Structure 1
């Protein structure tokens, strides 16, 4: 497998970064997770736009234009001859000293990994818990910045592992539902779809936006509003979305079974429509 690292492709075994890289020392950097479906990179331009927004927010200068970055991603998939893959595109502050001053890091580190992708979560539905870990409020670290610091999510994932379930949901600092460890949350009640607003410490997920648009096109009523745990407990349907997760139904939360453990009709219909578009909406790798 070949990995793009600072201007060239290297073997996986040779893809190494310095122990002085501030991405390692301080989690100072940004990333995007991107999917490839049958040789089409799903929503590549949107992912690149979000990457550059994250970079601007933390004053991290990317040494490539957006067009050059798109080509790096395409070339990484192509050189590995992949058709269905998961891409991890990372920009760190780069090599500096042991202090945290970013001005001591003259050049960012850029790397891109593409690996064959298998489904992370099952189609039959998952069980989740509510984590005691809270999502960081927007005035502490805005979730719009997709940073390398994922300790918040990692601690919640550890709780999910200990509980023997697939995923953990996090609340915001005021106790409202925020998101999962790496996915957005949707609830269905009486035919109306709801998802937490960005003000609830929520990442503006690419898949979240796609599913929202699909729901509107299919004639469903969909709202962004603050959600309480009670609303999740009594939901008719519950599902999550994310680049890696795609669209996954939730059949149990904190011991409360959703829809008698069955996948709801709205969830099914959205999932089917998502599967239809995922191979045609994006950037082609091969001619």
Structure 2
């Protein structure tokens, strides 16, 4: 159902039903586009430049000339204007930037390529409660086939896995690589702790290495009381974990209470440490 919310299309704020674009475009036919999702808090977006740099890498992969890349400053201003127009100024807002290519039909290069730039904003969902995960048969796509580190528009494997998990009564789907290693969930990166060691799948596991994931790795790496280990792990490694949690730019940090019926304790002391450390990192960035 369309709620006719305001959106920003190519720099103009319009009602959703008034936001029109051409029907013939490779973004629609082939998913030739990319996106970023980020959390806006009182006008601040954590590591906004990193989000935009990843989008630039995706647009370069898609073959878009650099002069057509969305400008960082203009994009941030468009986000601020949209959030203000919606009356969301002092709330946690989920912002999505979508850039889709408008090209002639077919796979040939188009010397006259254009883009559709769409920004949406909505209150971020409250996901403060611990998550339940269900391991689905849907696997992540190997990086050699689809660059996993980029947020390209065609993410149907994540959508499929997420919906399968929902049908099982879970909040998210645990996904493995094609050769059976733990990768990520349909919406987040995954971490677990055993003793004083924190584990997370490495980039060799065809993951989308999130911006919050990198921030958490940096926090743990700076603490002499813990070690961080990135690698390839079978799902059996999760069975005896002391605690498990997820990260992405919207939820930031979310505890996991069960995976396929196996329950995990919530390590409130460690999670509070991570949350406090992350807030300090965010505060320092705001001061720059």
Deviations, residues 60-99 of structure 1 (Å, cap 9, x unaligned): 23343333333333333344342321111011012533x3
- In the TM superposition, 1:268-279 aligns within 5 A as 268-278=272-282
The yes-or-no answer on 1:116 pairing with 2:123 is yes
Residue in 2 that maps onto 1:25: 29
Instruction: Give the Cα separation in 2 of the matches to 1:226 and 1:53.
Output: 25
Which range moves more in the overlay, 46-55 or 6-15?
6-15
Instruction: Give the Cα separation in 2 of the matches to 1:60 and 1:224.
Output: 33
Instruction: Give the Cα separation in 1 of the matches to 2:136 and 2:251.
Output: 19
Flag the 1:17–1:226 CA change in 2: closer, same or farther, 3 A. Answer: same
The yes-or-no answer on 1:201 pairing with 2:209 is no
Flag the 1:49–1:74 CA change in 2: closer, same or farther, 3 A. Answer: farther
Residue in 2 that maps onto 1:242: 248
Instruction: Give the Cα separation in 1 of the matches to 2:198 and 2:110.
Output: 46
Q: Which runs of 5+ in 2 are unaligned?
A: none
The yes-or-no answer on 1:233 pairing with 2:233 is no
Contact conserved, 1:43 with 1:282, CA < 8 A, in 2? no
Deviations, residues 10-47 of structure 1 (Å, cap 9, x unaligned): 22331233332322222110000011113312211111
Instruction: Give the Cα separation in 2 of the matches to 1:263 and 1:166.
Output: 20
Please report how far the alpha carbon of residue 277 of structure 1 lies from its aligned counterpart in structure 2 after TM superposition: 4.3
Instruction: Give the Cα separation in 1 of the matches to 2:50 and 2:34.
Output: 15
Superposition CA RMSD, Å: 2.2
Please report how far the alpha carbon of residue 53 of structure 1 lies from its aligned counterpart in structure 2 after TM superposition: 1.1
Q: Which runs of 5+ in 1 are unaligned?
A: none
The yes-or-no answer on 1:6 pairing with 2:10 is yes
1:20 is paired with a residue whose SS is coil
Please report how far the alpha carbon of residue 195 of structure 1 lies from its aligned counterpart in structure 2 after TM superposition: 0.8
Flag the 1:38–1:72 CA change in 2: closer, same or farther, 3 A. Answer: closer
Instruction: Give the Cα separation in 2 of the matches to 1:203 and 1:14.
Output: 33
The yes-or-no answer on 1:44 pairing with 2:57 is no
Alignment coverage as a number of residue pairs? 279
Instruction: Give the Cα separation in 1 of the matches to 2:86 and 2:287.
Output: 17
2:136 is paired with a residue whose SS is strand
Flag the 1:170–1:102 CA change in 2: closer, same or farther, 3 A. Answer: farther
Residue in 1 that maps onto 2:70: 64
Residue in 1 that maps onto 2:79: 73
Instruction: Give the Cα separation in 2 of the matches to 1:251 and 1:8.
Output: 43
- Determine which structure has greater relative contact order: mean sequence separation of CA pairs < 8 Å that are 6+ residues apart, divided by chain length: 1
Please report how far the alpha carbon of residue 278 of structure 1 lies from its aligned counterpart in structure 2 after TM superposition: 4.1
Contact conserved, 2:204 with 2:231, CA < 8 A, in 1? no
Flag the 1:126–1:263 CA change in 2: closer, same or farther, 3 A. Answer: farther
Residue in 2 that maps onto 1:171: 176
Please report how far the alpha carbon of residue 108 of structure 1 lies from its aligned counterpart in structure 2 after TM superposition: 1.1
Flag the 1:57–1:95 CA change in 2: closer, same or farther, 3 A. Answer: closer
1:154 is paired with a residue whose SS is helix
Contact conserved, 1:3 with 1:11, CA < 8 A, in 2? yes
